[in-house]
Amino acid sequence: MKEELFISGRDIPNIDPFLHIWHWQIPIYLYLGGLAAGILFFAGIFTIMGKEKDMKTTVKWAPFLVPGALIIGLLMLFLDLKHQLFFWQLYTTIRLQSPMSWGAWVLMFITPLSLIWVATYLKEVFPQWSWKFHFLEKMELLAVKNRKGMAWVMITLAVILGIYTGILLSAFNARPLWNNSILGPLFLVSGLSTGAAVIMWMTKSHYERKMMSRIDLVLIIVELFFITHMIMGMLAGSSVQIAAADLFLGGQFTVSFWVFVIILGLVFPAVLEILELAGYKIPVAIPAILILFGGLVFRFIMVEAGQITRYLY
Amino acid sequence: MRYAMAIDTRKCVGCSDCVVACQTENHVPFGFCRDWVTETVDGSYPNVELEIRSERCNHCENAPCVRCCPTGASHFVEGGIVLVTRNKCIGCGACIQSCPYDSRYSHPDGYVDKCTFCNHIVSKGGKPACVSVCPTKCMYFGNLDDPNSEVSNALKNRKHKVLAPEAGTNPQIYYLI
Amino acid sequence: MSEKAKKDYSKTYLNPYFGGVLLGIILILTFYITGRGLGASGAAKSTVVTTIQSVAPKYAEKSHYVSQFISDDNHPMNNWLVFEVIGVFAGAFLSGILYGRLKPKVEHSPRITSRKRLIVALIGGMLFGFGSQIARGCTSGAALSGMAVMSLGGFITMMGIFGSAYLFSWTFKKLWI
């Protein structure tokens, strides 16, 4: 037999028997961060390519969701803190080795940028809108003239935000499920895919829907490759990593992962998109909702499963 | 100056005096502990092996908790001891996630807490509470850079191991086996 | 690329006898792969039990019927039938797309209104839900899968369902034709 026990009776809340210090707030924050990154990335890239006229929802309307998503995400992050009165300490220093510090600063820059982006399009939604002060009118003109520049900054920050949601987890080398470098790109692609799904759902233009639907299909296939890569990498790793992979291959997360994330969240929407490209009519809400749902469940599973995996005991 | 601890697993009887001494000395809240005793049993009679270890924060040289802390609350002080500055800690839990030894916990007051090698005593030349109170005197604490210290001698003369070396943290608590 | 053959497949249905044989083959495969037969009302029951448990947990614990399905180990929705029914929805959706039958509509006799059809459907559904829990299964679970394993209860349920349907079909003829 092989047995390891705490004989001094350790039972610390949230640490024993399994680590469970991050609860539902963190997966929601990671999800909203990825979603915002996806929408902003597409808004930026189509602006740079000069396709604002063809991709109106992508460039103008979908970004309206982003400030709200980011603020709710930040609120979730704030709620998760246990020493909330000191949250401002995050902004007194940049620690390049701590992904959490990166995230705090990226969010600090991308939230106002997304607000400015949305503000430049406010006049198109509310024609009577007028900035009360003259200097704000001037700033709006300045922003509108520099949209391409803003777009470049926006896609850079969006990619950093998307990758950061994954790197945040992969930096914790004590959690074998998370400690692999594919997690950053995986969460980025997942975020881009959820952003594309939202745009695909919101748009009324047939051309735009087709374009985003094709892009989403490619992103889903890439995401499936990355997930395969992640699991194969873990199975080829040390025994703690194999134990981590086993959580998805027969362990407690097998059903929810394969049914909700892979089949309902990725494969089935991909099949529906392929059918759509082949000419069948599909109500766009269904693949969009499935992709959004799959992304959310994926993050919940990753955060909870990761805390269960460990090196010792 | 590199503080380290060497714990003789053949002399430890699992009395848990170190646990209680630490809780008393450092006013650890009820229900929490900064150190704990683990017993590992391997094999079956008559080839049974038993190992008793008193574990705590390893004050690693390559501490992932210091690396991951977004505010710098987790930091190194003189001797390689890892401490947490309470009013810089935001309670994000990143350090707890990054510790392979599960040695950190979230204090009810909000900040993250753990073993400090009794820095308030050690910086004045004393020994940590757990080391002082051990009835079998199986714990050695001292400066690894000093070739004549208790710790250096223990490591020279005995076979020793660390916990989870594959995690790459370079821990500074050595278990004499 | 978009509008391929404008051929309308929406009135093309599979030969019912062939469909029955396919269903039988699926039933055999289900028994082989999962060790149990098909079903449907169990998923509805799981949903009801979960709803009762979240809305009125004390009543759920006291009720003789509902408490059978609540356990600390396993969430009532975490069972085979729920996932089978999710698959049924997905497959039916796919079939609707491929044959152009994906339209929100109420199918009813031209002699009655949609509203009457829906009310009658609700009443019929309630009766069937009640009956399926008394018989511990519906047409797929008790009747079909039960008969497939030569269960006496399965045969009786099948005779009950189809018998009463024949008996009352003349009375409710007007709802359909």
Q: What is the pLDDT of residues C127-160, one digit of tens each?
A: 999 999 898 888 888 888 999 999 999 999 999 9
C15 falls within a domain: no
Residue by residue, pLDDT tens for chain B (177 residues) are 999 999 999 999 999 999 999 999 999 999 999 999 999 999 988 999 999 999 999 999 999 999 999 999 999 999 999 999 999 999 999 999 999 999 999 999 999 999 999 999 999 999 999 999 999 999 999 999 999 999 999 999 999 999 999 999 999 999 999
Residue C101: pLDDT band with limits 50, 70, 90: confident
Least confident of A59-63, A140-144, A223-227: A140-144
Residue A248: pLDDT band with limits 50, 70, 90: very high
Per-residue pLDDT at B170: 94
What would the mean pLDDT of A104-115 be, rounded to a whole number?
A: 93
Least confident of A27-31, A92-96, C65-69, C171-175: C171-175
Least confident of A56-60, A75-79, A192-196, A294-298: A56-60
Instruction: Quote the CA–CA distance of A93 and A235 in Å, as a whole number.
Output: 38
Instruction: Quote the CA–CA distance of A173 and A180 in Å, as a whole number.
Output: 8
**A-chain residues within 8 Å CB-CB of C2?**
279
C48 falls within a domain: yes
Query: What ipTM does this complex have?
Result: 0.90
Same domain, C84 and C128: no
**Domain definitions of chain A by residue range:** 25-308
What pTM value is reported for the model?
0.92
Cross-chain Cβ contact B97/A5 below 8 Å: no
Do A266 and A218 form a contact (C-beta atoms < 8 A)?
no
- Look up residue C156 and give its two tokens: 């009786």
Q: Which of B31, B67, B105 sits opposite A98 (nearest CB)?
A: B67
Closest C-alpha to C101, from C23, C19, C8: C8
Task: Say if C and A touch: at least 3 Cβ pairs within 8 Å.
Answer: yes
Cross-chain Cβ contact B101/A104 below 8 Å: no
Residues 268-307 of A with CB under 8 A from B: 307
Interface check C77 vs A, CB under 8 A: no
Interface check C4 vs A, CB under 8 A: yes
**B-chain residues within 8 Å CB-CB of A10?**
33, 36
What does each C-alpha distance from C138 to C88, C134, C143, C154 come to in angstroms?
A: 15, 10, 7, 10
Per-residue pLDDT at C9: 78
Per-residue pLDDT tens over the stretch C73-87: 788 888 889 999 999
First to last CA, chain B: 25
Residues 90-109 of B with CB under 8 A from A: 90-94, 96-102, 105-106, 109
Cross-chain Cβ contact A279/C4 below 8 Å: yes
What would the mean pLDDT of C51-78 be, rounded to a whole number?
A: 87
Which residues, listed in sequence order, are joined to residue B41 by a DSSP beta bridge?
Answer: A3, B50
- List the domain range (segments joined by +) for residue C60: 39-102
Query: How many beta carbons lie within 10 A of that of residue B79, not counting itself?
Result: 18
Task: Say if C and B touch: at least 3 Cβ pairs within 8 Å.
Answer: no
Residues contacting A235, CB < 8 A, separation 6+? A241, A242, A245
Please give, rounded to a whole number of angstroms, the shortest distance from the CA of A108 to a CA of chain C.
39
Residue C4: pLDDT band with limits 50, 70, 90: low
Given a cut of 90, whether residue C105 has pLDDT beyond it is no
**B-chain residues within 8 Å CB-CB of A2?**
40-43
Instruction: Quote the CA–CA distance of A123 and A126 in Å, as a whole number.
Output: 5
Please give, rounded to a whole number of angstroms, the shortest distance from the CA of C174 to a CA of chain A.
34
What would the mean pLDDT of A283-291 be, rounded to a whole number?
A: 94
Domain B3-176 -> CATH class: alpha beta
Residues 122-161 of B with CB under 8 A from A: none
Residue C5: pLDDT band with limits 50, 70, 90: low
Cross-chain Cβ contact A84/B110 below 8 Å: yes
DSSP for B108-145, written as a single string? TTSSEE---TTHHHHTTT---HHHHH-TT--EEEEETT
Interface check C97 vs A, CB under 8 A: yes
The residue count for chain B: 177
Same domain, C111 and C167: yes
Cross-chain Cβ contact A286/C93 below 8 Å: yes
Cross-chain Cβ contact A174/B97 below 8 Å: yes
The number of domains in chain C is: 2
Q: Which of B72, B166, B167 sits opposite A95 (nearest CB)?
A: B72
Same domain, C112 and C70: no
Per-residue pLDDT at A70: 95
Same domain, C97 and C136: no
Which residues, listed in sequence order, are joined to residue B3 by a DSSP beta bridge?
Answer: B143
Q: Which of C79, C97, C103, C105 would best serve as a mutation to test chain A binding (most A beta carbons within 10 A)?
A: C97
- Return the C-alpha torsion angle A128, A131, A132, A136, nearest 10: -160
Percentage of residues in chain C with pLDDT exceeding 90?
40
Kindly report whether the peptide bond that precedes residue B46 is cis, defined as omega within 30 degrees of 0: yes
Percentage of residues in chain A with pLDDT exceeding 90?
80
Interface check B88 vs A, CB under 8 A: yes
Interface check C78 vs A, CB under 8 A: yes
Per-residue pLDDT at A53: 86
Of C102, C121, C144, the one marking the end of a domain is: C102
Burial class (CB in 10 A: 0-12, 13-18, 19+), C166: exposed
Q: B54 to chain A: nearest residue by CA?
A: A8
Residues contacting B96, CB < 8 A, separation 6+? A15, A19, A21, B104, B105, B106, B112
**B-chain residues within 8 Å CB-CB of A108?**
none
Strands B36-42 and A2-6 turn out to be antiparallel
Query: What CATH number does the domain located at A25-308 have?
Result: 1.20.1630.10
Residues 218-257 of A with CB under 8 A from C: 255
Do C148 and C158 form a contact (C-beta atoms < 8 A)?
no
What does each C-alpha distance from C171 to A297, C117, C176 come to in angstroms?
A: 49, 15, 11
Instruction: Quote the CA–CA distance of A226 and A212 in Å, as a whole number.
Output: 21
- Look up residue C70 and give its two tokens: 């609540």
> Dihedral sign, CA of C40, C42, C43, C44?
positive
Of C76, C102, C128, the one marking the end of a domain is: C102
C10 falls within a domain: no
Q: Identify residue A195 by its one-letter amino acid code.
A: G
Instruction: Quote the CA–CA distance of C18 and A245 in Å, as a whole number.
Output: 43
Per-residue pLDDT at C1: 43
Q: A286 to chain C: nearest residue by CA?
A: C93
Residues contacting C168, CB < 8 A, separation 6+? none
Cross-chain Cβ contact C1/A283 below 8 Å: no
Given a cut of 50, whether residue A11 has pLDDT beyond it is yes
Of C102, C135, C156, the one marking the end of a domain is: C102
Instruction: Quote the CA–CA distance of C115 and B156 in Å, as a whole number.
Output: 89
Residue A233: pLDDT band with limits 50, 70, 90: very high
Do A175 and A169 form a contact (C-beta atoms < 8 A)?
yes
Per-residue pLDDT at C30: 93
Per-residue pLDDT tens over the stretch A135-179: 888 888 888 888 899 999 999 999 999 999 999 999 998 999 999
C140 falls within a domain: yes
